[in-house]
Amino acid sequence: MTHTKGPWHFDGPPDNHIIWTADGERVAFMAHSAGLDEERDTATARLIAAAPELLTALQEANTAINSAMAQVDAEWRNHDKAGDKHDKVVREFRAKVRDAIAKARGE
């Protein structure tokens, strides 16, 4: 399954933000706070509109991380404790990236 092709943008007043594709196809109507927090409503619409680019960036980061890890994996296994700490941080970040991609894809 694939999502609606990006890029997306939003428009409309805070109580009626709509997410659109570049081709003018409506992606979503935004829920809103009934005027209680228009700044948050706009920030939420902005974040959702950025979703396709965020997913692409995460996928590219995941590819780069996997490539780098494949190149240095054996070296890190035989490295000192500083290397082990770095390895743990990179692996945790790598897992977060994979989890975010899977969530975005509905996997």
Q: What is the pLDDT of residues 22-70, one digit of tens each?
A: 999 999 999 888 989 999 999 899 999 999 988 888 888 888 877 777 7
CA distance between the termini of the chain: 10
pLDDT(81) > 60: no
Q: How far is CA 65 from CA 21, 45, 62, 92, 106, in A?
A: 30, 29, 5, 11, 22
Q: What is the pLDDT of residue 85?
A: 64
Give the pLDDT band (50/70/90) at residue 2.
Answer: confident
Q: CB atoms < 10 A from the CB of 55, how many?
A: 17
What the block records as the tokens of 3 is: 């999502």
Query: Is-contact 90 69, C-beta < 8 A?
Result: yes
CA angle, 103 as apex, 100 and 105 as ends, to 5°? Answer: 110
